[in-house]
Chain A
Amino acid sequence: MSFEPKNPAVKWVEDRLPITGMLHHALYEYPTPKNLSYWWTFGSLAGVMLVVQIVTGIVLAMHYTPHVDMAFNSVEHIMRDVNYGWLLRYMHANGASMFFIVVYLHIFRGLYYGSYKAPRELLWWLGLVIFLLMMATAFMGYVLPWGQMSFWGATVITNLFGAIPVVGDSIVTWLWGGFAVDNPTLNRFFSLHYLLPFVIVGIVILHIWALHTNGSNNPTGLDLKDKQDSIPFHPYYTVKDLYGLAIFLIFFSAFLFYAPNYLGHPDNYIPANPLVTPAHIVPEWYFLPFYAILRAVPDKLGGVMLMFGAIAVLFALPWLDKSRIRSARFRPIYKQLFWVFVADCILLTYIGGKPAEGAYIIWGRIATIYYFVHILILLPLVGLFEKPKPLPASISEDVLSKKPASEEAANA
């Protein structure tokens, strides 16, 4: 099905730059599996959150001053003096958390339904690159208000690079632009915090391009076999995604308007003091699992390597998972292991937020070990030994076999 514009102006442009046809193909006729559940909404929600972050961020940059003497006060200026500044800043700060929530759900969706498997390995990789860029962007953004958590978060995270043998100290000095986190650090973080979201936009375009090359995965994990298996993206999934967005915005608004500081730390409302570290320093919640892994190892280099390794192993997932069945629906053992893995990640998040003492250390180590055991040992083994359930012949057959006539009438 090719795009043939009727409007002569659109046709004139289309003959010279086929952008309308490209958008038409991507957002209108794109043949989408007809059985996508709401777990497939989180991709578009992540896209919406990226736009929200960029738009609110550009606006905040109009009022923010990236200088150690003025940054903290300029944020308070935004909160008190700028028209709707409180709203815009809370949107941006909570928006970061919302972005991570939808991206984490998006990633776990991919894990459950095997969305990383051939031919979607590059798609998965691009997604992980986006995730890494998001983490860098979020970290640098958190430094900008120049509160106590900003300063000490910046100090701790940049010091991670000091673990690199031989050149570690030189790299840290280079990152700081000095011999401690100071004005040069703040300036470059602001610059990069502004830049990286646009890099993310570029990778997102590649991500969607790769997605549309082989089409979306779906709850059965089966490939599209014929026209019966798919429906056009518009209006079916535009409307479904919009409905998902509406529900999600209610969730977002609940934080935004009723608990805007719930996900933050009170200490960040104390101006940065390079001479005093807060008693209990933890990163934002979305970094906690990795923070827990970092602290699980009683060795500087080991902890840093394991933390980065926790993400690095995800790149190898398409080859570590030996099962050729994509969806966990047809993999009885993997399905259970998946939920154990989810519980393990939640446990890591919990441990990451607790002080590194007593039982928390033990549990942090157990959870860390299990994280890697799941990915590096269980995943390959289960793929080899698991006996999958019989697969339906097609998406259509699966959908129709599950839907009793009465339900069909009720939904019609």
Chain B
Amino acid sequence: MTTTTPEEENGVKRRDFLYIAAGGLGAVGTAAAIWPFISQMNPSADVLALSTTEVDLDGIETGSEVTVVWQGKPVFVRHRTEEDIERAEDVDLADLPDPEPDSERVINPEWLIMVGICTHLGCVPLKGQGDFGGWFCPCHGSHYDTSGRIRKGPAPANLVIPPYEFLNDSNIKIG
């Protein structure tokens, strides 16, 4: 019988090369085949197409709040009173678990727009409750102030401010 796998330099055989080349190609092919099965769980095109929400601010009285849906999540649109704004601005940042000045959380101080999902474990906080005049999460007792910043309780961070812009004085586009 003839030798089919001649020894070559450094002890590397032709077979070794073929084995690694075939195995490598197989691994790449398998990874490519698996990718669609993973990717399909990401948001589909129709979900991505719903990624902005426009809100008409007319009719939201000072001191009141509406909840709109953006990407399937509640977004609080709060028309703050002078008192709310003062309370939010008058806080010593050193007292905050997640220090952030109110000015960085609003475009127009009258309007506070934020995702109404507690940063602890995802419940929707209740307005006008809690120790700081803002929101209170009933699930695990997180208190948020009139700027939506975490003040007391287990939540690690302030309520999230979504990307939004003023289309004109009375219309915003979230997302």
Contact = CB atoms under 8 A, between A and B. Distances in A.
Interface of A: 55, 59, 62-63, 77, 80-85, 87-88, 409, 412
Given A81-B45, A83-B44, A412-B1, 14 more contacts: A62-B40, A77-B44, A81-B46, A82-B40, A83-B42, A83-B45, A84-B35, A84-B37, A85-B44, A87-B36, A88-B36, A88-B37, A409-B1, A412-B2
Interface string B34-54: 011101111011110000000
Interface of B: 1-2, 4, 35-37, 39-42, 44-47
A55 B47 CA distance: 24
15 contacts: A62-B40, A62-B41, A63-B44, A80-B45, A81-B45, A81-B47, A83-B39, A83-B40, A83-B42, A84-B37, A84-B40, A85-B40, A88-B37, A88-B40, A409-B1
A82 B44 contact: yes
Contacts of A63: 40, 44
B44 A59 contact: no
Nearest to B3: A412
Contacts of B44: 63, 77, 81-83, 85
A55 B37 contact: yes
Given A412-B1, A412-B2, A77 B39 contact: no
A77 B39 CA distance: 15
Contacts, number: 39
Contacts of B36: 83-84, 87-88
A247 to B, nearest CB: 14
B2 A409 contact: yes
B19 to A, nearest CB: 11
A205 to B, nearest CB: 24
A88 B37 CA distance: 8
B16 to A, nearest CB: 15
B39 to A, nearest CB: 4
A373 to B, nearest CB: 46
A63 B42 CA distance: 11
